[in-house]
């Protein structure tokens, strides 16, 4: 019994321990499961947090990119507006500088920037800046052949420290300094070339005139006789006589105790000998103040001089007699220039402001030489006009002013044609090139600038009501005729001199049933050829406007036509803009103008042919090709027309 009770008790104890162990295992498994679930939850929460953080960071980066793009666009638009404003203010140099910064920032410029760049590129501006003087530049002259310019400089304040006092001769095309002429002991106020370009005359505050050999730079002779500043010199057209004017005009603005204008004269000198041969003196009717300006008529008969009292006198050079007197009271006559026919005289007027007062005048005045009457004023400058030049054809006037601007005017109407901004200070001198295509000016900012007067200037605008879109245009070799091809199949012939339409080719017959893509004409302007989107080609008589021949040249659009120099052959080329080599006509075809027969076919281009041109002798033909869908697909081929 005892043994049985012992066994039962042992079994119960084992069962109790097992139950305890099972309970413990159950608790441990539960805890492990809970731990695993907790860790999984933590990992999930962390993963979600990381994902959310990544998404938020991505959104932030995207928003930053959008903000930066928006800022870049705003900056681009702002600079574009600034550049256009600079062009409106006649400052193409600033506009191009702003455009360059946009190019650096944007790479491929957007349309607004490209448009502004085109506008800036075709706006007249300085093509060259010469800044070797290091001091105010008072005068500039261009050699008769236009290859050289001479400029003279010195101190701005006659009472200040002397500066430079040299003449520098430089190449107008490159700006390269050719030579330096050193001979004056004070500021050089004026330089002028002789009519043959071999001599240069200079003059200035040291009261002397120097004649230089342009080729060698040698000082040939020094002309002395004036008792005060020598302000201007000018050669007569035969180059044998030199006229000069003198007088200290500084004292008329800023009185200096004990200082006055000791000599207000006009003198004539023999260029060969350097001797004084004449003194222009009209007594009380003559100049009573410093003589500041001088001009000689193209025929050499007359000289005009202007002084610091607003008096302009017309002299007969051969006799020294006073012929006419004109006045602009209270003004300085800063500059003078005759028109080529000698009928008009242009003067730059205005006495500088002093003590806060305004300048007396800010315009150039045009005078009738025969009557002495003022014809018109060129109004636009905001300060005194100090430099004048008249073109050789007599159609335009160039002015420079203390407002730092240079302006080109139409002489007949007095209308301002162009304005040139670049000088930082008073413009003191101006000269036009012999061909009138460019000008050179100088200023107290220490620079001389060469300006392009007509780069890309609009010559004629062709205007007609309801003109269909133009897909092709061609100018005749002599520049007298323009052909235009239109989207509705019309071909127009224009007179470039009048802008009038001479012929409307195909308007009645509707020859071209599709858009005209190319036009060409013969060298003698008697024949024209046009091609269209449907592959048709038409030959026209330009004299009568009649259709001579119409034929189907290609199965695809004809993008290019060319006529041989002798007018006997036509070349045509075609293709499909987005086609491949296998499904389009890419051959260049040669046609006989007289018969319309196909003479030859040139094959080899893999893609559409867009351009054609004959060589001047007609023995070679060049063609250009490429695909609009594939990069680096362009090709150029040169063909032997005869073979």
Phi, psi of 133 (to 5 degrees): -70, -45
Tell me if 585 sits within 8 A of 558, measured CB to CB.
no
DSSP state of 115: H
Here the tokens at position 182 are: 């050193």
Tell me if 209 sits within 8 A of 223, measured CB to CB.
yes
Distance (Å, whole) CA 124 – CA 398: 14
Chain segment 574-598, per-residue pLDDT in tens: 988 665 555 678 899 999 999 999 9
User: In which element (H, E) is residue 39 found?
Assistant: helix 2-88
Question: DSSP string spanning 334-377?
Answer: EEEEE-TTSSEEEEEE-PPP-TTPPPS--EEEEEETTT--EEEE
What is residue 395's predicted lDDT score, i.e. its pLDDT? Answer: 92
Question: DSSP string spanning 434-452?
Answer: TTSSEEEEEETTS-EEEEE
Delimit the domains of the chain by residue range.
73-123, 126-249+261-452, 470-640
Name the 3-class secondary structure at 575. coil
State how far Cα 466 lies from the chain centre: 32
Phi, psi of 396 (to 5 degrees): -140, 155
Tell me if 413 sits within 8 A of 397, measured CB to CB.
no
Distance (Å, whole) CA 286 – CA 322: 8
Nearest to 34 by CA among 24, 42, 46: 42
367 sits in the region (left: phi over 0; alpha: psi -120 to 50; else beta) called beta
Domain at 470-640: CATH architecture: 7 Propeller (2.130)
Tell me if 564 sits within 8 A of 521, measured CB to CB.
no
Tell me if 109 sits within 8 A of 117, measured CB to CB.
yes
Q: Is-same-fold flag (126-249+261-452; 470-640)?
A: yes
Beta strands 516-521 and 501-505 are unpaired
Maximum distance among all Cα pairs of the chain, rounded to whole angstroms: 175
What is the Cα Rg of the chain in Å?
A: 41
Name the 3-class secondary structure at 197. coil
Which residue is associated with the tokens 């990381």?
50
Distance (Å, whole) CA 153 – CA 498: 47
Which residue is associated with the tokens 């099972």?
22
What is residue 90's predicted lDDT score, i.e. its pLDDT? Answer: 59
Name the 3-class secondary structure at 287. coil
Q: Is the dihedral of CA 576, 582, 583, 585 positive or negative?
A: positive
Cβ neighbour number for residue 413 with a 10 Å cutoff: 9
CA angle (150, 183, 193) in 5-degree steps: 30
Distance (Å, whole) CA 429 – CA 334: 10
- Reported for 409-414, long-range contacts at CB under 8 A and 24+ positions apart, including other chains, are 409/364, 409/378, 411/339, 411/344, 411/366, 414/366, 414/376, 414/377, 414/378
Instruction: Determine the straight-line distance between the first and last CA of the chain, rounded to whole angstroms.
Output: 136
Q: Is the dihedral of CA 20, 25, 26, 32 positive or negative?
A: positive
Here the tokens at position 325 are: 């007197």
Residue 438 makes CB contacts below 8 A (sequence gap 6+) with 127, 172, 432, 450, 451, 452, 453
489 sits in the region (left: phi over 0; alpha: psi -120 to 50; else beta) called left
CA distances to 23, 28, 327, 448 from 34, rounded to whole Å, are 16, 10, 113, 91
**To the nearest 10°, the Cα dihedral for 12, 14, 20, 24?**
-160
Nearest to 514 by CA among 568, 553, 462, 570: 553
Distance (Å, whole) CA 150 – CA 241: 20
Chain segment 466-479, per-residue pLDDT in tens: 678 888 999 998 88
Residue positions counted in the chain: 643
Distance (Å, whole) CA 111 – CA 371: 56
Tell me if 81 sits within 8 A of 99, measured CB to CB.
no
Q: Could you tell me which CATH class the domain 126-249+261-452 is placed in?
A: mainly beta
* Regions of the chain short of the pLDDT cut 50: 1, 105-106, 456-457
Residue 611 makes CB contacts below 8 A (sequence gap 6+) with 559, 560, 573, 622, 623, 624
Distance (Å, whole) CA 77 – CA 79: 6
Name the 3-class secondary structure at 263. coil
**To the nearest 10°, the Cα dihedral for 493, 496, 498, 502?**
-10
Phi, psi of 521 (to 5 degrees): -145, 160
Tell me if 407 sits within 8 A of 90, measured CB to CB.
no
Helices within 521-569 (DSSP H only): none
């Amino acid at each position: 019994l005892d043994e049985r009770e012992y066994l039962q008790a042992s079994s119960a104890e084992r069962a109790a321990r097992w139950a305890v162990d099972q309970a413990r295992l159950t608790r441990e498994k539960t805890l492990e499961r809970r731990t695993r679930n907790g860790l999984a939850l933590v990992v999930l929460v962390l993963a979600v947090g990381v994902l959310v953080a990544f998404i938020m960071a991505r959104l932030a980066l995207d928003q930053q990119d959008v903000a930066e793009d928006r800022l870049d666009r705003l900056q681009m638009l702002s600079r574009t507006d600034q550049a256009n404003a600079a062009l409106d203010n006649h400052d193409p140099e600033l506009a191009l500088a702003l455009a360059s910064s946009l190019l650096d920032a944007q790479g491929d410029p957007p349309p607004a920037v490209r448009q502004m760049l085109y506008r800036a590129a075709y706006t007249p501006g300085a093509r060259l800046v010469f800044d070797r003087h290091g001091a105010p530049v008072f005068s500039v002259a261009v050699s008769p052949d236009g290859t050289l310019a001479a400029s003279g400089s010195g101190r701005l304040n006659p009472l200040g420290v002397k500066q430079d006092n040299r003449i520098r001769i430089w190449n107008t095309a490159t700006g390269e300094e050719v030579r330096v002429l050193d001979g004056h002991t004070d500021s050089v106020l004026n330089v002028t070339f002789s009519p043959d370009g071999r001599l240069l005359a200079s003059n200035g505050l040291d009261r002397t005139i120097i004649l230089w050999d342009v080729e060698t730079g040698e000082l040939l002779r020094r002309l002395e006789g004036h008792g005060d500043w020598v302000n201007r010199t000018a050669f007569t057209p035969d180059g044998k006589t030199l006229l000069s004017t003198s007088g200290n005009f500084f004292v008329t603005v800023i009185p200096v105790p004990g200082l006055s204008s000791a000599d207000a004269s006009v003198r004539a000198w023999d260029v060969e000998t350097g001797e004084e041969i004449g003194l222009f003196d009209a007594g009380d009717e003559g100049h009573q103040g410093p003589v500041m300006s001088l001009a000689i008529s193209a025929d050499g008969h007359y000289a005009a001089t202007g002084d610091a009292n607003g008096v302009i006198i017309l002299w007969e050079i051969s006799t020294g007699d006073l012929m006419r007197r004109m006045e602009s009271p209270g003004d300085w006559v800063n500059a003078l220039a005759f028109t080529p026919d000698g009928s008009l005289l242009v003067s730059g007027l205005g006495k500088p402001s002093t003590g806060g007062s305004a300048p007396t005048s800010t315009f150039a005045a045009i005078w009738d030489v025969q009557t002495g009457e003022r014809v018109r004023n060129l109004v636009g400058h905001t300060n005194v006009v100090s430099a004048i030049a008249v073109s050789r054809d007599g159609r335009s006037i160039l002015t420079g002013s203390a407002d730092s601007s240079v302006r080109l005017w139409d002489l007949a109407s007095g209308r301002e044609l162009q304005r040139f901004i670049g000088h930082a200070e008073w413009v003191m001198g101006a000269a036009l090139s012999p061909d009138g295509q460019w000008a050179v000016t100088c200023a107290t900012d220490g620079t001389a600038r060469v300006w392009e007067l007509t780069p890309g200037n609009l010559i004629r605008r062709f205007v007609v009501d309801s003109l269909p879109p133009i897909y092709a245009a061609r100018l005749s070799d002599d520049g007298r005729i323009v052909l235009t091809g239109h989207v509705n199949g019309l071909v127009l012939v224009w007179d470039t001199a009048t802008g009038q339409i001479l012929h409307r080719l195909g308007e009645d017959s509707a020859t071209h049933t599709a858009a005209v893509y190319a036009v060409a004409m013969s060298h003698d302007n008697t024949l024209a050829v046009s091609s269209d989107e449907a592959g048709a080609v038409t030959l026209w008589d330009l004299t009568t406007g009649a259709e001579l021949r119409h034929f189907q040249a290609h199965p695809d659009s004809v993008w290019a036509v060319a006529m041989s120099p002798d007018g006997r052959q036509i070349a045509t080329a075609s293709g499909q803009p987005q086609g491949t080599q296998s499904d389009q006509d890419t051959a260049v075809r040669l046609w006989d103008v007289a018969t319309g027969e196909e003479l030859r076919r040139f094959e080899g281009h893999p893609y559409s042919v867009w351009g054609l041109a004959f060589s001047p002798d007609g023995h070679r033909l060049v063609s250009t090709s490429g695909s609009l869908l594939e990069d680096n697909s362009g090709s150029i081929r040169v063909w032997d027309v005869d073979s």
